[in-house]
């Protein structure tokens, strides 16, 4: 097994040569990356010639008027509240599952990891079933 102190045994001339070769490699890699970056800046336009989707053509609202319209929209708040109640409470509990089980029941990390994985699978399956 080699130690860091083994590097002191290398001839200073050879060590200097290796360091110079590493720097040369790094400069070559930097040059290629800089060249590709400059070419991408020159080639890519500010926007595509045609919109990528039909919704990309729609005129967007500014942020403040859009936020105000969402704040008074029942169609926004109903799913937002349902999601936040169901998923929000669950995620808060799940983020502390290891601490809760280890401190109260002495359950190890591997078991709590499995419980969390099974809970996520059950949540995904339940979401698919209820979404139908």
How confident is the model over 70-94, as pLDDT tens digits? 899 989 888 888 777 777 777 777 7
Give this prediction's pTM.
0.37
CA distance 44 to 89: 44
More confident residue, 131 or 120: 120
More confident residue, 75 or 4: 75
Task: Report domain extents, the chain.
Answer: 4-43, 64-131
Q: How far is CA 53 from the centre of its chain?
A: 25
Average pLDDT over residues 58-64: 86
Rounded to the nearest 10°, the torsion over CA 115, 117, 118, 123 is 120
Average pLDDT over residues 3-25: 82
Average pLDDT taken over every residue of the chain: 83
- 27-41 pLDDT, tens per residue? 999 999 999 999 988
């Amino acid at each position: 097994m080699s130690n860091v102190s083994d590097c002191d045994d290398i001839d200073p001339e050879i060590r200097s040569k290796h360091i110079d070769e590493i720097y040369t490699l790094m400069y070559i890699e930097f040059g290629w990356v800089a060249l590709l970056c400059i070419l991408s800046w020159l080639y890519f336009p500010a926007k595509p010639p045609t919109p990528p989707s039909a919704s990309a053509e729609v005129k967007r609202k500014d942020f403040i008027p859009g936020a105000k319209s969402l704040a008074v929209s029942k169609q926004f708040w109903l799913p937002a509240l349902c999601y936040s109640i169901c998923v929000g409470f669950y995620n808060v509990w799940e983020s502390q599952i290891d601490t809760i089980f280890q401190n109260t029941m002495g359950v190890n990390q591997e078991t709590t990891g499995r419980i969390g994985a099974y809970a996520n699978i059950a949540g995904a399956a339940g979401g698919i079933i209820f979404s139908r």
